[in-house]
Amino acid sequence: MPDTLITKEFIEDHRSDILPPCWVEREHSSQMRGNYQEVLFTPGELKRRTLDLLDESREMACICSFLVHDTEIETAIENAAGRGVHVYILLSSEAKKDKFIDDDDFSKKTLEEFDDTIRRLSPITKIRSSSNFHSKFIVIDPHGKHPKGILLTSNLTSEALEKNPEIGVPLSEAETRELYHHFRYGFFVGADKEVDDSGRHKNVVRKEISEFDLYDQNTSLSVTTENHTTIRQSLESLLEIKGGDITLFAYGFEPNHPVIEKTEDLLKSGRKVTVFTRPRKGSKNFLEALIKLKNAGAEILGVNGLHAKGLLVGSGVKAQGIIMTANFEKKGLDEGFETAVKLTPERIQALQEIFEDWKKMAEYRFEAGLKTGNIKGRIKMYLNGAERLEEISVKERYNSQLKRMKVKDKKEAETRKPNFPANVGDAGQKYHEIRYFWEVEIASQPEKTIKK
C-alpha cells in the first residue's frame, strides 16, 4: 500500500498583539513656505532675514545662540565688525563638551568646526558663555532710533536656518529694546566664561543682579533666568483660558512638569489638544510625556526635523499664544536662559498657516497601545525604552512553508505538531497573521494476510 500524503495548515494570529509605542506613517505632502504674512519666517527665508539684519547693523549687534556654525552668518559678523559695529555674542559652554545636552543633532564634525568659529570671531567680538544659555535671538542698534531684533527657535547653524522646521519672529522696537535688557542680563549676570582673543575660555566675574534686572513685567516678552520664570507663568496663564483648542509644539517634553500635567487634565476634561514634535529616540522623559498625552486623548503628529517651540490656545481672532526658545521641561521653564514672545493677531494668523503646512508635512502620528491588526504600513517603533527607534513595516500576511513530516499512522498525523520556527518572516517586518503550511507523509501499512 503506497504512502499517504496530506497537507496541513495553521494560522498564527497576531492581530491582538500590542505594539510598543510607535510612530505610524501617514499621508503627507508639501513643504513649508519661507514667509508667513511677513510676520513669521521659516527656513530658508529665516536665514536671509537673519543675514539682512546683521548687514543693517551700524553701531551694535547682540547675538545669542547655543552655537554659531554657518559660513554666511560668520562672514556677516566679520563684515559688521569691519564696519565698526560692536558685536557681542552669548554661546552655550555646553557646546564645548564632548557629551553635551541640547535639543539639536550636532555632529562631532560640527563641534570641531565650532572651535574654529570661536577662534575666527573672538578677536573681533566679545564672546561670553554659560551652560544655561539656550535662547536664540539677534538685536541690532538697541540705542538707535529704530532698533531691530528677531527671536529664533533655531540655532545659528546651516541645518537649522535652511532645512529644519523652525520659526523666526521679527520684533517691534519696544520688544527689541526689552530683549536688549535680557541680553545684558545674560552677558553680565548669567555668563561665567569669556573667550579671549585666542579662543580660550576663561572665568569671568558676574555682576550684581540688581544692576541689570530691568525687565518690564508688562512687556510682550517673557523669559527664564535663574531669577525669573515668566515663560512658565505665561504658559500657565494660557492654559487657564476657558474653552478653545490647544496646540503645543516643541522638541522636548517632560511627563511630570506641571505644564504637561495641566495639559493632561484639560485633555481629560474634553479639550482638544494637538502636539507637533520631532520623532526621535534617546529620551525616556520625551517618550513618557508623549504616552501620557496620547493616553489622555491628544493627537500627536511627527514632523521630521521640527525644533520650533510654543503654545497656542483657541482659534481665529480670539486665539492667544507664545513662541519660545524653551522646551516643555524643567531646564527651560524653571531654569536656564530662555526667551518667549507673545503672539499678536497677525502672528497668530501666520502661525495657524504654519500649522496647516505642518499637518500636510507630518510623516507620522504617534500611537501607544496600538494593536498590530489595526495598522498596515511603515512605522517607527521604540525598543529598549527610548534607546532605539526601529523602522519596520506591518503587513497583512506571511506564508511559511515548513518541512514535510513523516508519521507512522493517521492518529499521529492528527496529533503531532511541527517545529514552528522562532523567527518567521522578512527582516524588519511584522504581520497580522502567519500561515504555516506543511505536508504530512503517513507511512504505508503492511497488508494483512488473510488465512484460508
Tell me the pLDDT band of 103, cut-offs 50, 70 and 90. Answer: very low
**Look-up: residue for cell 573667550?**
195
- Can you read off the three cell numbers belonging to residue 191? 555668563
Tell me the pLDDT band of 317, cut-offs 50, 70 and 90. Answer: confident
Which of 201-215, 217-231, 269-283 has the highest average model confidence (pLDDT)? 269-283
Classify the C-alpha dihedral 42-48-52-53 as positive or negative: positive
Mean pLDDT of 190-204: 90
Task: Tell me the domain boundaries of the chain.
Answer: 4-21+369-442, 40-214, 222-361
- Can you read off the three cell numbers belonging to residue 427? 527582516
* pLDDT at position 123: 94
Q: What is the chain's mean pLDDT, rounded? A: 91
Q: How many CA atoms lie within 13 A of 84 on its CB side?
A: 2
Mean pLDDT of 147-176: 94
- Topology (CATH level 3) of domain 222-361: Endonuclease; Chain A (3.30.870)
* pLDDT at position 285: 96
Mean pLDDT of 202-209: 89
CATH of 40-214, one of 3.30.870.10, 1.25.40.80, 3.30.420.40, 3.20.20.100: 3.30.870.10
- Residue 99 clears pLDDT 60, i.e. is over it: no
Q: Is 425 left (phi over 0), alpha (psi -120 to 50) or beta?
A: left
